Amino acid sequence: MRKVPVIAATVIGAALVSGCTASRYQISDALQRYGLSSSEAGCAAEFLRGELSTRQVNRLSDAARYYNSDGPLTFGSLFAVATSLDDPQVLLKVAGSAAACGIVADIPIPGL
């Protein structure tokens, strides 16, 4: 009898958490809208899915929209946008996605 409440709580908790994280498609669409290529956006989205909340993705997307750049958004400029959010988790995950996707050469290194 005690297993039922535990299982129910687990299922409800999982449903609540899944509703709070951004999907791969939300992330990929947002990144492509601001200039990342389809392959870059897809790779980043695969890495970031489930790692960032919908709110974090929306904040990153909004900041990217207003990023002042002469050309399309790159991973380097996305890193700069993530830095401006003052959210260490977003910055860490964006940097991690760049490393996972093999695009770290585009990220500026402070002091160089």
pLDDT-derived band at 69 (thresholds 50, 70, 90) equals low
Q: What are the residue ranges spanned by the domains of the chain? A: 22-106
Mean pLDDT, residues 75-102: 88
* Separation of alpha carbons 73 and 12, rounded Å: 38
Burial class (CB in 10 A: 0-12, 13-18, 19+), 49: middle
Write down the pLDDT at residue 40.
84
- Residue 36 reports pLDDT greater than 60: yes
Average pLDDT score, the chain: 74
- Closest-CA residue to 103 (of 30, 52, 22, 41): 41
Mean pLDDT, residues 20-40: 81
pLDDT-derived band at 44 (thresholds 50, 70, 90) equals confident
Question: Token pair of 99, please?
Answer: 């490393």
pLDDT-derived band at 105 (thresholds 50, 70, 90) equals low
Mean pLDDT, residues 83-103: 89
User: Could you tell me the pTM of the whole model?
Assistant: 0.66
